[in-house]
Structure 1
Amino acid sequence: MSKDNRAEALALAPSLEAIERELVIYEDLLRRWQAKINLVAPNSLEATWIRHFADSAQVFEAAPVATVWADIGSGAGFPGLVTALLLKGRDGAAVHLIESDQRKAAFLRAVSRETGAPVEVHAERIERALPPLAGKIQAVSARALAPLARLVEMAAGPLKNGAKGVFLKGEEWRDELTAAERVGNFTYETIQSRTHPRARLILVHSPSEANFDRTD
């Protein structure tokens, strides 16, 4: 791990300082498991602190009041496991990690055990795991899973129940946003990513809900 990479990540996302010890454990597990299963793009591994940890921290910082989250298509735990670590110690905190790949689900459980992250891993498909959580969760997140319109469709139940959607999107975010605005009756907001100049966080909520509580 590059110390410069780590320092830059902490500068980009100061909230990570409180969980730096847990992230060191997380990175070590990520590197060890990556040798056995494909968790992240190999060329992103050396930039884990920025590409994965700092990038994920932005999601929590966009809706810091939420204590119960669902992270869909969790993969290696970005952003959901980082959100859980940032919520660690808060009363009632829970992050539901939904990942149908059994090997990735095992990895998520291993990181949770080693770091004490308040998560529940659902090793099943999103369309089965998410609907029962619709009335329980306060926010739903995803990264690199599907186009925004599809994410909104999948998360429509929780969103209609007042949950906030926080989705990390890349360079094609404008086109994805245009397509998503045709799906249901939701309000959209964008936040500039701090880890990629052409990326955005797309915030989604029901028009009846109050504005997002977030830190900029």
Structure 2
Amino acid sequence: MRDVSRETSARLNVFAELLVKWNARINLVSPRDIEHLWPRHIEDSLQLAPMIPQGSRVIDLGSGGGFPGIIVGIASDAEMVLVESDRRKAAFLREAARECGVKAQVLAQRIETLDLDPAPFVTARALAPLRVLLGWTAPLLSPNGVALFLKGKNLAGELTDAEADWHMSHTILNSRTDGQGAIIKVSDIRRVE
């Protein structure tokens, strides 16, 4: 795990215990992933924290089991807006934010229905193809904002597909936790005319 303070580590442990408890009732992560919770989910999400200045406002799309939203909120003290349409998962996110001391607004609604002020950061993990993510992200990202997406081995193909509909500036960073994964930083998103 990357270097985090003792306080952050303690809050991450609270989160992990809570997720395991809730996962017995609702499917937040695959039951077979529980034994790999730290490297596969928590440490993967932690990679985004150094890219988000302390206290920034972040909209996390498809927050699900709290990845990366709750983890980023714990590690960067960000002001999180967590978007999750599944009401049971949204209830978990509210409880996790409260227990872990994360400043979070949880919206139990579909991404397409959001009416939010744009934020300097938008995040998502394992949610949708890049082409779809860009459509959801464009109206939610501040003019000089950055979207940070944790993606898998199909990123190159997703990028090719997305470029048919979207202009963007982007940087691809290798994942430190998944040899086939990557983080794509996207800015200047605009639809192809």
Same fold (TM over 0.5): yes
State the partner residue of 1:15.
4
One of 180, 186, 190 as aligned partner of 1:204:
186
More helix per residue: 1 or 2?
A: 1
Cα deviation digits, residues 122-170 of structure 1 (max 9, x gap)? 11111222x4232xx1100001110011101110113363321000100
Aligned pair partner of 1:133 in 113, 117, 131: 117
Alignment partners' CA distance in 1, 2:152 and 2:39: 15
Q: Which of 158, 173, 188 lines up with 2:140 in the alignment?
A: 158
- Residue 183 of structure 1: how far off its partner (Å): 2.7
For the 8 Å contact 1:160–1:206, the answer to whether it is kept is no
Amino acid at match of 2:180: R
Q: How large is the Cα RMSD of the aligned pairs?
A: 1.8
In structure 2, the partner of 1:6 is none
Q: Secondary structure of 1:162's match?
A: strand
Compute the displacement of 1:66 (Å): 7.0
Partner of 1:62: 51
C-alpha deviations, 1:34-66, integer Å up to 9, x for none? Answer: 110100111111111111111001122233367
| Greater fraction of residues in strand | 2
Q: Residue 94 of structure 1: which of 76, 79, 93 is its match?
A: 79
Tell me if 1:179 matches 2:161: yes
State the alpha-carbon separation in 1 of the partners of residues 37 and 111 from structure 2.
26
TM-score normalised according to structure 2 size: 0.92
Counterpart CA distance in 2 for 1:110 and 1:148 is 30
The aligned residue for residue 119 of structure 1 is 104
In structure 1, how many angstroms separate the alpha carbons of the residues matched to 2:5 and 2:145?
24
Higher relative contact order, chain-length normalized (CA < 8 Å, sep 6+): 1
Deviations 1:56-104 (A, max 9, x none): 011222333671000000000100111111122xxxx411000010000
Runs of 4+, deviation exceeding 6 Å: none
C-alpha separation between the residues in 1 aligned to 2:79 and 2:68? 14
- For the pair 1:74 / 2:63, whether they are aligned, the reply is yes
Give me the whole-angstrom Cα distance separating, in 1, the residues matched to 2:184 and 2:5.
21
Q: Could you say what secondary structure the match of 2:167 adopts?
A: coil
Verify: 1:41 aligned to 2:23, yes or no: no
Structure 2, unpaired ranges of 5+: none
Q: Distance in 2 between matches of 1:64 and 1:46?
A: 31
Q: Secondary structure of 1:188's match?
A: strand
CA 1:177–1:66: 2 relative to 1, 3 Å = farther
TM-score normalised by length of structure 1? 0.82
Relative distance call for 1:36 and 1:138 in structure 2 (3 A) is: same
Instruction: Look up the SS of the partner of 2:166 in the other structure.
Output: coil
Shift, 1:16, TM fit: 6.5
